[in-house]
């Protein structure tokens, strides 16, 4: 079983739509959780951290359910500029040290 | 302030050759990690260094090695290159263990 699993999509949504991405992780001892955004042929960039209490940053809302080992990202009022791949990231120390385990990413295209 | 810088940006090598990739972290960051991203997949953890010591190693063969220098810059070496080593190699730095990473723009390695 993969450490982090995501629906790869693609998700094609019209501008203004609300879209949700989900992610599950396998290690219940995982400590930190993030969503990264990656544009085509670019490096991943931190979108937001994910906290158990849930957190919101403008149009973006992230949720963590530790009991179900489930992470979500909600994007409201989608913009063309939101088109990218969204990577679910879990941070733990299974291999020693501190490393990220990435999902395969979910592709989003926002259509005019 | 400069972000994470990687060199070279692109590289073409033939099978069996050796390659060295370089990374300079954000000033003040002591933790450097290396990731391999194959097309269509999320980044896979290779190594983490913190304070010049290896703190974590992912599931990669011994052909892969790395080190961190006193100025916290890092090199990733890959020996006996295989076609399957073709990927985007990402370096990420963070202030300390357990903190979110900032990625460099990567080195795109093609093995022919």
Residues of chain B above pLDDT 70, percent: 96
Q: What is the pLDDT of residues A30-48, one digit of tens each?
A: 888 999 999 998 999 999 9
Q: Which of residues 7-46 of B touch A (CB under 8 A)?
A: 31, 33, 35, 40-45
Give the pLDDT of residue B60.
Answer: 96
**Res A71: pLDDT:** 95
pLDDT in the model for residue A96: 60
CA distance A93 to A95: 5
pLDDT of residue B79: 97
pLDDT (mean) for B90-111: 88
A98/B98 Cβ within 8 A: yes
- B68 and chain A: CB distance < 8 Å anywhere? no
Q: To which residue do tokens 């290896």 refer?
A: B54
Higher-confidence position of B39 and B111: B111
- pLDDT at residue A9 in the model: 86
Contacts of B100 in chain A (CB under 8 A): 32, 34, 46, 49
Give the pLDDT mean for A84-89: 96
pLDDT at A100 over 90: no
Least confident of A67-81, A91-105, B70-84: A91-105
Q: Which of B35, B47, B50, B46 is nearest to B88 (CA)?
A: B35
Across chain A, the runs of DSSP E, i.e. the strands, are 4-6, 11-14, 19-25, 32-38, 44-50, 55-57, 60-65, 70-75, 84-92, 99-102, 106-111
Test A97 with B102 for CB contact under 8 angstroms.
Answer: no
């Amino acid at each position: 079983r993969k450490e982090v699993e995501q629906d790869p999509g693609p998700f094609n949504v019209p501008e203004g739509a609300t879209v949700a991405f989900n992610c599950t992780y396998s290690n219940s001892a995982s400590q930190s959780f993030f969503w990264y955004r990656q544009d085509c042929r670019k490096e991943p960039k931190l979108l937001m951290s994910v906290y158990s209490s849930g957190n919101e940053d403008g149009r973006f809302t992230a949720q963590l359910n530790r009991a179900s080992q489930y992470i979500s990202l909600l994007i409201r009022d989608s913009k063309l500029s939101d088109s990218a791949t969204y990577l679910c990231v879990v941070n733990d120390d299974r291999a020693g040290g501190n490393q990220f385990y990435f999902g395969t990413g979910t592709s989003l295209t926002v259509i005019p | 302030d400069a972000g994470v810088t990687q060199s070279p940006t692109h590289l073409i090598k033939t099978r069996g050759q050796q390659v060295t990739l370089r990374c300079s972290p954000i000033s003040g960051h002591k933790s450097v990690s290396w990731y391999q991203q194959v097309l269509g997949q999320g980044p896979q953890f290779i190594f983490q260094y913190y304070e010049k010591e290896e703190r974590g190693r992912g599931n990669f063969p011994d052909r892969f090695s790395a080190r961190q220098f006193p100025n916290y810059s890092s090199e990733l070496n890959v020996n006996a290159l295989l076609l399957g080593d073709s990927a985007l190699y990402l370096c990420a730095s963070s202030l300390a263990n357990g903190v979110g990473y900032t990625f460099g723009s990567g080195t795109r390695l093609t093995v022919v």
